[in-house]
Chain A
Amino acid sequence: MSEHEHDESARPAVSRPRTAPEEPSPAGLRRELPAEVPAPAPAPSEEDVAQEPAGPELTGRQRLAKGLWPPRITRAQLIVALLLFGLGFGLAVQVASNSDGDSALRGARQEDLVRILDELDDRTERLEDEKQGLEKQRDELENSSDQAEEARKQTIEKERQLGVLAGTVAAQGPGITMTIEDPKGTVESDMLLDAVQELRAAGAEAIQVNGVRVVASTYLTDSDGGIAVDGNKITAPYRFKVIGKPQDLEPALNIPGGVVQTLEKEQATVTVERSSKIVVDALRAVKRPDYARSSSR
């Protein structure tokens, strides 16, 4: 029995060692002795489905050729074909399942896997750090660009406000219109200057008189038959368009001993109208100061 098992484990298909006790061929093969004559073919003596009853001189090569051609459909061939089909199927499935996807990791040993995992962890950590740094940088950039945008907006707003004061942009808003009729030609520049001062004191933000913008540097002079405002001669009636709070401006003009009374003493007629929308559209050219420079910055 032990011999049988040994035979089967060494070469799984031995035909009945009990009935073919001599078996010289495997032993001869093992010893690598010179070209052993083909096995004395124990086969012919027994029923032998897998092979032709071979003559004693039949070599292994001839047997192989005989087994391959011509094809014979025998029970043995079919059974072996079935088993080999199973083998081929399993082989192909295994190869296919091994060669797709993470085949690099599939055969790896445990220590390798642990090392790879550690490396991946380290790498993840590094990348996480890098990501945080980059996000921080991005936030800073966004903030700074927001700040820059905000500063730009404020600058534009300030420019508009200053433009209203400097008379370089048109302005509109609530205010009053004051018309001074001067039938006798008695109104002089200082009276108009008083009116302008009074308006400014009452909070006027933009003033124009007869199409001339009144700003900080405006000067008023008498000229024959009228008044010159910044050198532009204007004649009666003098129409002031003033943007400011009407409820402040009108009383400021009408206070006792104020502008209106003074002018009426000179027989000029003054009408003051409140309006919810005054447009001051007379402009002054931007003039760059020759000597004064901004000291901020």
Chain B
Amino acid sequence: MIAVLGLVVGVVAGLLVRPEVPAVVEPYLPIAVVAALDAVFGGLRAMLDGIFDDKVFVVSFLSNVVVAALIVFLGDKLGVGAQLSTGVVVVLGIRIFSNAAAIRRHVFRA
């Protein structure tokens, strides 16, 4: 419950404050958000499976974000930034879908 509240408060704060995204962070923010989403879905699924662990969640959340940003950064340096971020988004999207499917089976039994 507190976690859900945290998400809601974060969205509201982001909409209200509406800060300027620094130019350095700008290309990595969308990928980082998608990676974090993936971690959150994974965490939700783990919770439904009854194997949730906060330490693992924290580590996976942070490492997901960092690795995703790193990949994009590397891609930019190599000149394949657009393609690489597309690849990252595809992979993360697939994982989000599979996690969402597991969650769905838990919640709707279907």
**Residue ranges of A at the interface with B (Cβ–Cβ < 8 Å):** 8-16, 20, 23, 25-26, 29, 32, 35, 38-39, 41-43, 48-51, 54, 58-61, 63-64, 67-73, 75-94, 96-98, 109-110
Contact = CB atoms under 8 A, between A and B. Distances in A.
A51 B61 CA distance: 19
Given A11-B45, A51-B47, A89 B53 contact: no
B24 interface: no
B47 A13 contact: yes
A68 B39 CA distance: 19
The 8 closest A-B pairs by CB, nearest first: A88-B10, A92-B14, A81-B6, A60-B106, A12-B60, A76-B54, A60-B48, A71-B1
A14 B51 contact: yes
Nearest to A44: B50
Given A11-B45, A13-B57, A63 B50 contact: yes
A29 B29 contact: no
Summarize A's interface: helix, strand, loop or mixed: helix
A81 B3 contact: yes
Contacts of A50: 47, 52-54, 57
Contacts of A70: 1
Interface residues of B, number: 58
A94 B25 CA distance: 11
B80 interface: no
Nearest to B105: A29
A96 B30 CA distance: 12
Nearest to A13: B46
B74 interface: no
B39, B50, B102 — most chain A CB neighbours (10 Å): B50
Contact of A93 (B1, B4, B19): B19
A85 B60 contact: no
Contacts of A96: 14-15, 18
A88 B6 contact: yes
B9 to A, nearest CB: 6
Contacts of A23: 51
Interface string B44-87: 01111111111011111110100000000000000000100000
Contacts of A93: 14, 18-19, 21, 29
Contacts of B26: 97
A25, A39, A94 — most chain B CB neighbours (10 Å): A94
Contact of A43 (B21, B51, B56): B51
Given A12-B64, A13-B52, A15-B56, A81 B42 contact: no
A60 B104 CA distance: 10
A38 B13 CA distance: 38
22 contacts: A11-B43, A12-B42, A12-B60, A12-B61, A13-B51, A15-B53, A25-B50, A51-B52, A60-B106, A67-B1, A79-B58, A84-B40, A85-B7, A85-B13, A88-B7, A89-B14, A90-B32, A92-B13, A92-B14, A94-B33, A96-B15, A109-B82
A51 B12 CA distance: 27
A69 B106 CA distance: 18
